[in-house]
Structure 1
Amino acid sequence: MTNVDIVRIFQSIAEILAIQGENPFRIRAYERAAVTIEGLPQDLADVYRARGVKGLREIPGIGEDLAAKIAELLKSGRLKFYDDLKRKVPKGLLEVMAVEGMGPKRTKFVWEEFGVRSLRDLEKLCRSSKLVKVRGWGSQSVRNILQAIDMLRKFGERMPIGKALPLAESLVRTLERSKLCDRVEIAGSIRRRKETIGDIDLLVTSDHRKRVMDLFCASPVIDRVIAKGPTKANVLLKAGIEADLRVLDPKVFGAGLYYFTGSKTHNIRTRTIAITKGLTINEYGVHRGTKERKGKLVACRTEEDVFRAIGLPYIPPEIREDTGEVEAALEGKLPTLIEERDIHGDLHAHSNFSDGSASMEEMIAAAKKAGLEYVAITDHASVMGMVKGIKTSRHGLHQLSPPPVGRGSERGRGALGHSNIGEYIKRVRAAATKVRGIHVLAGAEVDILADGSLYLSDEELKQLDWVIGSIHLNFKQTKEQATKRLLKTMENPYLRCIGHPTTRLIGERGGMEFDWDAVFKKAKQRGVTFELNASWMRLDLDDVRCRQAKAAGVKICINSDAHDPQGLEFRYGISQARRGWLERGDVINALPWTRFQKWFKSVQNRVLDT
């Protein structure tokens, strides 16, 4: 039973309780617990093994009742309360509630009044004349629900940030170029830089509201206008994601930007603080008094004003997830989050020596153009049968077809094949002389074999300036096997970085599981950095593990993993790092060249002496 499983179960419990019309505070307890668990840097199973139910109760937001339920799930893999709850509500109702425009009250109504138990039942009901006659529904409401059902079926998946952000930015450019808007901002989960996005939220100020709405709804990237009013439009983009545009009053723009940025749980947390001060927060500002009896407007023009009104410093959008940021703000302990300008080097880039599309010289020139002080060319040294790349002399591992798993577990013996490591390094050095003004490292991304050994021998590894170890095969190992594998890899004295550690591909392949406490403890001891792969298809490590690595004292390396000059970018990686609370001092390639050299020599000497 993983954290993800428990999060899913608690979310499901909250949804079922909402359908049943249970106490909102009880529902919110499960929702908040799910968010808390999702953001935990450690596995609940490890906490329970180490400290039992007491350890679970020490987690913020997890009281005695929830701790007992988590313990039951961890011990038996089941939860009687959840099993009993599921029997009371048809399984298909959760899908019904997910339809835009439904919600728990409407879902309960169509279930009790019309016997709706599934999405198909809801669709049939909407296509009949029964629902139109019910007060509070109407023909337009029913049509919207039918459209929402179609969209849910067709576009149920969330969109990766690397696809959603460019779409949002293209809409922003269209609005800005029109000269109709005084201000245009992206809000929602994109502004918080979540790795996957449910929809696009745009906020503008304008004296030409109708023209702005007409312009937005006529955009060529839009497939269909779902709803359009004087200050809000909701559309479906051809890319399969919805976008909302809201026109706000300039006087309350800061409050609106804060409110629509979220997250929902963060906003609930700050509203709770506001209530203790006799204040109310909503999209129109901070007011004195209660929701029912608002008084004087206290703040609304900027987000800073909103935070100041409730006694908090400004909290960056990326960490507004109610995972401790409010407490840190109250204690004056908010991190100074890393910025893209802090990056001095890229320690993972490929050329056409292996599977890149550009020459080494072109990649080095691109790194210099990007303003970097140093770059590592790290072509593949792979057992995967790549025609090009770095070859080894180990135990026949130079063969183009993969060897039996586990062969070559003893490094540096049996030189049966031809290694081209010398030729590779010579080519990197030659390319480096052709581009002045940037330091170049001859590195390699070396396959981590199933038993944890590296594809290259020690004799070959020690000739390189920078060694990344990455898993490119045998993804299906158990948590125990995978942990043992990485622990062995980190024993190699020449390894300095673990590349895209979990091997995940967002939306395509889940990540491998490890005992992260053990892995990070070993990494700290051995001076091994962990990569945050900046490719939006990976973003690996994720934000939660970045935060855990930081807590363990393990340095992160934000790398582009570029395979062409255009791939030398860091913005998605920086966003993920910020979500993981990383500061400049936590990121090894945020060091200027001279300090990076000093760090590298210090670590290498210490490890080689042990």
Structure 2
Amino acid sequence: MTNGEIAAVFERIALILDLKGDENPFRVRAYARAAETIANMSKSLRTIYEEGELPALRAIPGIGEDLSLKIEEMVKTGKLGYLATIEKKVPKGLLEVLEIEGMGPKKTKFVWQKFKVQSIADLQKLAESGKLEDLKGWGEKSVANILRGIEQRAKVSGRLPLPVAAPLVEELLDALRKSGLCEKVEAAGSFRRKRESVGDIDILVTSRKPQEVMDVFCSLPQVESVTAKGDTKSTVFLKAGLDADLRVVDPKAFGAALLYFTGSKDHNVHIRRIGIAKGLTLNEYGLSKGTAARKGALVAAETEEAVYKAIGLPHIPPELREDRGEIEAAQQNKLPRLITEKDIQGDLHMHTNFSDGAASPEQMVAAAKKKGLSYIAITDHASAMGMVRGMKKTGNSFRQYLHMMRALRDAEKGIRIFIGAEVDIEADGSLYLPDDMLRELDWVVASVHGQFHQSLEETTSRLIRALQNPYVHVLGHPTARLLGKREGITFDIDTVLKAAKAHGKAVELNTSFERLDLPDTHLKRAKEIGVRISMGSDAHALEGIDHRFGIFQARRGWLEKGDVLNALSQKEMERYCSRRK
């Protein structure tokens, strides 16, 4: 099992226990934290177990004796008996109801017990019946939000967020490489373009023994069923809920096939039009002279670079291939020099156990140093929400936080610590903390964490007012979306970005696996307007300090080193933090 699959098991257990309501809430939270930690880990739990067995698993923060034994069982058997046992205690479809925005454990349990709701279809019928609107704690607005959540879920079903799909794809590629039957193994499709979600998986290989490769592929443990099996192409349905296609292609045509199956369709159509204008025909077998009906000599096929060059273009990075101007830029030799992970010097958004993080400030600092970062901003929550620990505008928690962080900053010589906060943006655009507190912080991230269903005009005004605050540095996870779970707030992106530019603020690319927020199209627009991007891992655990998927998103947004604050040196970042506008 992949880390993502194991994390999903623990998250499912937490949901079931929470739904039943008869478990210690700390136990529920332990499973939820373990799921978050594991989902953010870059190293495979299988590898950790193989290297150090149970002691190595127990050394992972938040993984004690009980959870390490459960991980061992999943690594060895691919399943967990405890999950199978507790799943019998609630209807299967009820967990899907729980995932609908607006339906927490309390409401889900209520509709299950009172109205016998056991599926999303049942919930939709109930919500549309009008029976909920007059009940205490529900109301017309609440019911409308639930119906909107059902609609949103329907839009994202059948796709996996890229961070969830990536370990699965890497396992498939690794298995094919280790088979010893393939000379080349590459993923194509939306995964290679690093779209934020993946609907299916395309894999290309070259092999002298294609039938044996198909046998290996169709018998992999990740496969639920075989849809079609042929000599050079097979399709399987994976246990993760996606189709995967494997194609064995001619080594001499591998580049053309990789270009074709990487897509996007719009990019390929545009490329083919350029070829046609030059008397060339392009398909998955190569670039040839002549037309589709009367093909002539082969011009290029073995590598993507050769195919692009023969058409008269430089190689275009896969992340840009969406026909959003990349071909015109290539024709003018103006393709961006896309940012890489090596350019990142710091992390500008993370949490500790002072608020809702799993690790101490000292542990987060040590983890950041291990990653080779030269600076970090610790941004624990400042929120009115009672469920969120952290800084409050009353009492002495803010002073305690400043005292603790200043002591840590002054004692730490190996990395620069910026003392920050992630401050809630209230419904009217004001910030939860007053200005006299904000001015004492090095770094202020202003974020929306509630009131998600305002109108476009209300949300736009709300964000602009937050950006007008002189002590705010960056607008955090601007759409407030959760990949595969919540679409996020709606606002006029151009108006907000222009306000950020006018007030000298950055907008965030939140690199958390569950957010990747801003979307790529918004990042590209921010670059065009001239707004700087701040990348923040939003790490709540040691393993969460990871920008890999954020870098993919940044590249899809055409971002270069100069567009991203995290590429600044420590001294440059100190100067930037001291700015107030």
TM-score, normalised on structure 1?
0.68
| 1:598 aligned onto 2:579 | no
Equivalent residue, structure 2, for 1:141 = none
Q: What is the aligned length?
A: 428
The answer to which structure, 1 or 2, has the higher relative contact order (CA under 8 A, 6+ apart) is 2
For residues 391 and 456 of structure 1, what CA distance do their matches in structure 2 show?
A: 8
Counterpart residue identity of residue 400, structure 2: E
- Specify which of 381, 399, 412 is matched with residue 422 of structure 1: 399
User: Which digits, 9 at most, give the CA deviation of each residue in 1:168-192, with x for residues without a partner?
Assistant: 1110111112222111111000000
- Partner SS state of residue 319, structure 2: helix
Contact 1:374 1:439 in 2 (8 A): yes
Deviates more, 1:181-190 or 1:510-519: 510-519
Equivalent residue, structure 2, for 1:265 = 266
Contact 1:365 1:435 in 2 (8 A): no
- Partner SS state of residue 569, structure 1: coil
For residues 494 and 266 of structure 2, what CA distance do their matches in structure 1 show?
A: 27
- What is the percentage of aligned positions where both structures have the same residue? 55
User: Which digits, 9 at most, give the CA deviation of each residue in 1:328-381, with x for residues without a partner?
Assistant: 111111111111111111000001111001111111111111111111111000
Shift of 1:546: 0.6
For residues 460 and 272 of structure 2, what CA distance do their matches in structure 1 show?
A: 42
Counterpart residue identity of residue 533, structure 1: N
Contact 1:255 1:282 in 2 (8 A): yes
- Specify which of 451, 454, 467 is matched with residue 477 of structure 1: 454
Equivalent residue, structure 2, for 1:487 = 464
Matches within 5 A, 1:11-22: none
| 1:197 aligned onto 2:198 | yes
For residues 285 and 388 of structure 2, what CA distance do their matches in structure 1 show?
A: 61
Equivalent residue, structure 1, for 2:234 = 233
Contact 1:354 1:386 in 2 (8 A): no
For residues 159 and 528 of structure 2, what CA distance do their matches in structure 1 show?
A: 30
Equivalent residue, structure 1, for 2:364 = 363
Counterpart residue identity of residue 238, structure 2: L
Equivalent residue, structure 2, for 1:77 = none
Shift of 1:260: 0.6
Shift of 1:195: 1.1
Equivalent residue, structure 2, for 1:342 = 343
User: Which digits, 9 at most, give the CA deviation of each residue in 1:378-429, with x for residues without a partner?
Assistant: 1000111135211113xxxxxxxxxxxxxxxxxxxxxxxx132221122223
- Partner SS state of residue 477, structure 1: coil
Equivalent residue, structure 2, for 1:582 = 559
- Partner SS state of residue 543, structure 2: helix
For residues 445 and 169 of structure 1, what CA distance do their matches in structure 2 show?
A: 34
Contact 1:361 1:434 in 2 (8 A): no
User: Which digits, 9 at most, give the CA deviation of each residue in 1:483-526, with x for residues without a partner?
Assistant: 11111111211100111101111221112122222211221121
Contact 1:361 1:432 in 2 (8 A): no
| 1:507 aligned onto 2:491 | no
For residues 312 and 159 of structure 2, what CA distance do their matches in structure 1 show?
A: 35
Counterpart residue identity of residue 243, structure 1: A
Contact 2:443 2:577 in 1 (8 A): no
- Partner SS state of residue 349, structure 1: coil
Shift of 1:463: 1.0
Equivalent residue, structure 2, for 1:380 = 381
Matches within 5 A, 1:106-185: 157-185=158-186
Matches within 5 A, 1:450-461: 450-461=427-438
| 1:243 aligned onto 2:244 | yes
For residues 547 and 519 of structure 1, what CA distance do their matches in structure 2 show?
A: 14
Contact 1:429 1:442 in 2 (8 A): yes
- Specify which of 543, 547, 552 is matched with residue 529 of structure 2: 552
For residues 253 and 490 of structure 1, what CA distance do their matches in structure 2 show?
A: 49
For residues 240 and 211 of structure 1, what CA distance do their matches in structure 2 show?
A: 25
Contact 2:381 2:388 in 1 (8 A): no
Equivalent residue, structure 1, for 2:500 = 523
- Specify which of 452, 455, 466 is matched with residue 443 of structure 2: 466
- Partner SS state of residue 454, structure 1: coil
Equivalent residue, structure 2, for 1:314 = 315
| 1:563 aligned onto 2:540 | yes
User: Which digits, 9 at most, give the CA deviation of each residue in 1:242-288, with x for residues without a partner?
Assistant: 10111112111111111110001110000000000000111111101
- Partner SS state of residue 252, structure 1: helix
For residues 493 and 219 of structure 2, what CA distance do their matches in structure 1 show?
A: 49
Residues 385 and 156 of structure 1: CA distance in aligned 2, closer, same or farther (over 3 Å)? closer
Residues 315 and 442 of structure 1: CA distance in aligned 2, closer, same or farther (over 3 Å)? same
Higher gyration radius (CA): 1
- Partner SS state of residue 541, structure 1: coil
User: Which digits, 9 at most, give the CA deviation of each residue in 1:143-174, with x for residues without a partner?
Assistant: xxxxxxxxxx9x95222112112111110111
Equivalent residue, structure 1, for 2:298 = 297
Contact 1:312 1:330 in 2 (8 A): yes
User: Which digits, 9 at most, give the CA deviation of each residue in 1:554-586, with x for residues without a partner?
Assistant: 101111101001111111111111111111111
Equivalent residue, structure 2, for 1:287 = 288
Residues 292 and 274 of structure 1: CA distance in aligned 2, closer, same or farther (over 3 Å)? same
- Partner SS state of residue 490, structure 1: helix
Structure 1 stretches of 4+ with a deviation exceeding 6 A read none
Equivalent residue, structure 1, for 2:331 = 330
- Partner SS state of residue 348, structure 1: coil
TM-score, normalised on structure 2?
0.72
Contact 1:364 1:432 in 2 (8 A): no
Matches within 5 A, 1:42-57: none
- Partner SS state of residue 468, structure 2: coil
For residues 211 and 572 of structure 1, what CA distance do their matches in structure 2 show?
A: 34
For residues 387 and 532 of structure 1, what CA distance do their matches in structure 2 show?
A: 23
For residues 386 and 166 of structure 1, what CA distance do their matches in structure 2 show?
A: 32
Unaligned runs of 5+ in 1: 1-152, 394-417
For residues 466 and 433 of structure 1, what CA distance do their matches in structure 2 show?
A: 17
- Partner SS state of residue 183, structure 2: strand
Question: How much is the aligned-residue C-alpha RMSD, in angstroms?
Answer: 1.6
- Partner SS state of residue 181, structure 1: coil
Counterpart residue identity of residue 553, structure 2: Q
Shift of 1:323: 1.1
Contact 2:442 2:577 in 1 (8 A): no
Contact 2:158 2:241 in 1 (8 A): no
For residues 487 and 156 of structure 1, what CA distance do their matches in structure 2 show?
A: 33
Unaligned runs of 5+ in 2: 1-153
Counterpart residue identity of residue 528, structure 1: K
Counterpart residue identity of residue 221, structure 1: Q
Equivalent residue, structure 2, for 1:441 = 418
For residues 229 and 396 of structure 2, what CA distance do their matches in structure 1 show?
A: 65
Shift of 1:316: 0.6
Equivalent residue, structure 2, for 1:42 = none
